[in-house]
């Protein structure tokens, strides 16, 4: 396949995914989710004193950890396209799985950056104590891209494992629990030591850690260690990226081999039976 043909196919796929999100009803989510974050941050800021308020702490962490939601987006889209039969059609296209994976990663990256820009813009308008400069804005965008690169493989691996609605709900619930206890909404130091150690294995805590290091000007009062460790955070995220992409090549190849007409029929029949449609 020519490079121009591959790029055209990726572009068509990316636009097909982005169009309903940017031009359709999905645009509501782009406004609603950041609005909820900013409203909560504003509420937490009222009556607070100190160099940085709890609301600023939360927004700084969300700017980092929000990039990890790329894993959930990739996983959910992979599941919905498995149910619709899209993955089966992709399988028979030359280089289909590879082009599909690149398109999904590109789409998820664009969506994440749009969210980040809206959150950062809203924080600048409504949170007076969030220090932001042009250099920090550029660094924040670069940080978001780095976090997306580290967390995208998780979405593909989970998407390959999720084969039913129950496993999908379990994966969502597990991710939300990890996200909510990753030190974004409250300091990780408030959790028991064993919970802190578990969180420090996952990329969500370190994503928020890097963002807080960027936006809070070195104020690591609420970090478990009492100090920022950006090099350790970068190393852990790099490890997730390297190991993740190494596994993704095998996982995607194996996952697409299992996409057959019979497996699709069985999956659709199970879904119909659960909603009472024979």
Residue 49: per-residue pLDDT:
60
How high is the mean pLDDT of the chain? 83
Which residue pairs from 3-11 have beta carbons closer than 8 angstroms and sit at least 24 positions apart in sequence? 6/95, 6/99, 9/99, 9/103, 10/99, 10/102, 10/103, 10/106
Say if 278 falls within a structural domain. Answer: no
Say if 48 falls within a structural domain. Answer: no
Residue 10: per-residue pLDDT:
82
Please identify which residue in the block is written with the tokens 């924040």: 140
For the cut 60, the answer to whether the pLDDT of residue 159 exceeds it is yes
Question: What sign does the CA torsion over 149, 79, 37, 222 have?
Answer: negative
Q: Count Cα neighbours of 203 within 13 Å in the Cβ-side half-sphere.
A: 31
For the cut 70, the answer to whether the pLDDT of residue 166 exceeds it is yes
Say if 167 falls within a structural domain. Answer: yes
Residue 266: per-residue pLDDT:
76
User: Which pLDDT band, with edges at 50, 70 and 90, does 234 fall under?
Assistant: very high
Say if 92 falls within a structural domain. Answer: yes
Segment 23-81, tens digit of pLDDT: 766 777 778 888 888 888 877 776 556 556 777 788 888 888 888 888 888 888 888 88
Residue 240: per-residue pLDDT:
93
**Which distant-in-sequence residues (6+ apart) come within 8 Å of 265 by Cβ?**
none
Q: How far apart are CA 181 and CA 195, in angstroms?
A: 9
Say if 128 falls within a structural domain. Answer: yes
Percentage of the residues of the chain whose pLDDT score is greater than 90: 9
User: Which pLDDT band, with edges at 50, 70 and 90, does 242 fall under?
Assistant: very high
Range of the domain at 161: 3-21+28-43+53-273
Of the candidates 115, 117, 102, 141, the one whose C-alpha atom is nearest the C-alpha of residue 14 is 102
Say if 85 falls within a structural domain. Answer: yes
Q: How far apart are CA 63 and CA 117, in angstroms?
A: 9
**Which distant-in-sequence residues (6+ apart) come within 8 Å of 260 by Cβ?**
88
Cβ atoms 153, 72 nearer than 8 A: no
For the cut 80, the answer to whether the pLDDT of residue 193 exceeds it is yes
Residue 278: per-residue pLDDT:
54
Say if 245 falls within a structural domain. Answer: yes
Say if 89 falls within a structural domain. Answer: yes
Using only C-alpha atoms, the chain has a radius of gyration, in whole angstroms, of: 20
Domain tally, the chain: 1
């Amino acid at each position: 396949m020519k490079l121009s043909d591959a790029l055209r196919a990726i572009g068509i796929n990316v636009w097909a995914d982005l169009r309903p999100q940017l031009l359709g009803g999905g645009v509501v989510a782009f406004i609603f989710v950041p609005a909820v974050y900013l409203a909560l941050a504003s509420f937490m800021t009222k009556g607070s004193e100190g160099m940085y308020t709890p609301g600023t702490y939360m927004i700084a962490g969300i700017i980092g950890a929000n990039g990890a939601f790329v894993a959930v987006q990739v996983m959910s889209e992979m599941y919905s396209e498995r149910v619709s039969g899209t993955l089966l059609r992709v399988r028979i296209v030359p280089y289909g799985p590879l082009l599909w994976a690149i398109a999904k990663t590109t789409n998820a990256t664009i969506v994440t950056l749009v969210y980040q820009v809206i959150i950062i813009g809203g924080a600048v308008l409504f949170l007076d104590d969030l220090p932001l400069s042009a250099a920090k804005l550029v660094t924040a965008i670069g940080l978001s891209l780095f976090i997306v690169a580290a967390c995208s493989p998780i979405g593909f691996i989970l998407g390959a494992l999720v084969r039913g609605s129950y496993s999908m709900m379990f994966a969502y619930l597990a991710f939300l629990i990890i996200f909510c206890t990753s030190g974004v909404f409250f300091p990780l130091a408030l959790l028991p030591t064993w919970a802190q150690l578990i969180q420090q294995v996952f990329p969500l805590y370190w994503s928020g850690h890097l963002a807080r290091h960027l936006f809070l000007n070195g104020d690591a009062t609420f970090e478990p260690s009492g100090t920022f460790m950006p090099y350790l955070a970068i190393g852990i995220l790099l490890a997730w990226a390297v190991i993740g992409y190494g596994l993704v090549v095998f996982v995607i190849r194996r996952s697409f081999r299992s996409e057959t007409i019979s497996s699709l029929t069985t999956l659709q029949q199970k879904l119909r039976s659960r909603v009472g449609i024979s």
